[in-house]
Structure 1
């Protein structure tokens, strides 16, 4: 059987080199800060000191990596040892959260579907009642018109009393029909969508919470650019691709012509260790 137990250890190092190097580096810094180049000779002396600085920097890095190398290797070994279980657990967490969120979204979809169905039923019921109210008013008006015609015929025949009676009856019929239609219409206004319960609500679990995390995705880059051109206060929404601009400037140099962009040379000095 393979023994997977690792014993604890320690890394020993000599700190005296760091103290000596720090003293040398500090003296070089003091000298560099006081350097005034006012002649070709001083320029050459500065270049010579620069090479010494680079050389000492190389020594410092070698001493540092001599200590950190074993430490970094140990850290890498530990990370490699625990990488697999961490990845397994991260994948398990993603899978479980995904399944639970899918369930939540399905319940929300069902609830929204039930809400829309309830609103549809209520809307159709309101429309039915409103149609009934209009039909009631129409029939009442037709009856009132019929009675009014009889009243007109009676008046034409010289029966004023009957004409007056029929005219009053026609007026009462129209008023009663209008009142009945209004009552029915008021019933339509009271019809609302009945609350629909969710098919299966997600159970409450201690330590588990779900929140809405709103995000945005770009669907039309040119439309966004056009909007920002009209509303420059939102220009922070566009990131400049500095790396691409630098590559273009490197390729075209002075010939680069891009509105709002300037190509310029940036001198970089390199030095080797003495």
Structure 2
């Protein structure tokens, strides 16, 4: 094992054991603890530097490999998206034509019935049905089969009507307001409060 890593581990375990037993009950105790917190921060940096010695070159290599393969997968993903979009547009258009033809035939029959009701069963409306295009549910190609599947989504059409449990609070925005405006900017239903944390700075 790396001797430096072993030494760091021993130091970390020693610090952890001491922290568990530590008592802070006087100004000097507090000063000693602050000094130790500063030392822990320095140790964290040393640990991170050592970690980077190991993972830095590996990460750089992985990034280079990923970047190279994105040259392959990027255009392929775009080609897939474009092709799917064109097939979907074609399917949607064929379904639209099918619905339109069916509606025309239904309207013809309805008009003929109404005319016949007014003219003792006689009607002059041309009830010859228009051709309804057949739209198969599946496209069977030589190497694959494709079909449209449901893909339900949502959009807000009336925010005021949305139940409270579905209105998600914008955590990032409220955090930004808290840090920037503290409690000077009011937001209905929200309380901004200060919860100080200990910050240790080098001298």
- Do they fold alike, i.e. is TM over 0.5? yes
Give the whole-Å Cα distance in 2 for the aligned partners of 1:241 and 1:198: 49
TM-score w.r.t. structure 1 length?
A: 0.64
Which protein shows a greater Rg? 1
> Does structure 1 retain, via aligned residues, the 8 Å contact 2:105–2:129?
yes
Match of 1:88 among 68, 72, 75: 75
Unaligned 5+ runs, structure 1: 1-13, 134-183, 185-192, 229-233
Give yes or no for the alignment of 1:106 onto 2:106: no
> Does structure 2 retain, via aligned residues, the 8 Å contact 1:107–1:200?
yes
Runs of 4+ in 1 over 4 A off after TM superposition: 193-196, 199-202
Aligned in 2, Cα 1:251/1:91: closer, same or farther, shift over 3 Å?
Answer: closer
Question: How is 1:139-178 mapped onto 2 (pairs within 5 angstroms)?
Answer: none
> Does structure 1 retain, via aligned residues, the 8 Å contact 2:139–2:145?
no
Q: Aligned with 1:239: secondary structure?
A: coil
Comparing both structures, which one devotes a greater share of its residues to helix? Answer: 1
2:181 aligned partner: 252
Q: Offset of 1:54 from its aligned partner? A: 1.1
Give the whole-Å Cα distance in 2 for the aligned partners of 1:41 and 1:82: 58
Give yes or no for the alignment of 1:33 onto 2:20: yes
Give the whole-Å Cα distance in 2 for the aligned partners of 1:197 and 1:104: 15
Question: How is 1:1-274 mapped onto 2 (pairs within 5 angstroms)?
Answer: 15-133=2-120, 197-199=132-134, 201=136, 203-205=139-141, 206-219=144-157, 223-225=158-160, 227-228=161-162, 234-272=163-201
Aligned in 2, Cα 1:266/1:104: closer, same or farther, shift over 3 Å?
Answer: same
> Does structure 1 retain, via aligned residues, the 8 Å contact 2:98–2:135?
no
Aligned in 2, Cα 1:71/1:273: closer, same or farther, shift over 3 Å?
Answer: farther
The alignment covers a number of residue pairs equal to: 196
> Does structure 2 retain, via aligned residues, the 8 Å contact 1:53–1:273?
no
Give the whole-Å Cα distance in 2 for the aligned partners of 1:246 and 1:239: 14
> Does structure 1 retain, via aligned residues, the 8 Å contact 2:95–2:135?
no
**CA-atom RMSD, angstroms?**
2.7
- Cα deviation code 1:69-91 (max 9, x no counterpart): 10011011101211111111001
TM-score w.r.t. structure 2 length?
A: 0.84
> Does structure 1 retain, via aligned residues, the 8 Å contact 2:182–2:193?
yes
> Does structure 2 retain, via aligned residues, the 8 Å contact 1:54–1:273?
no
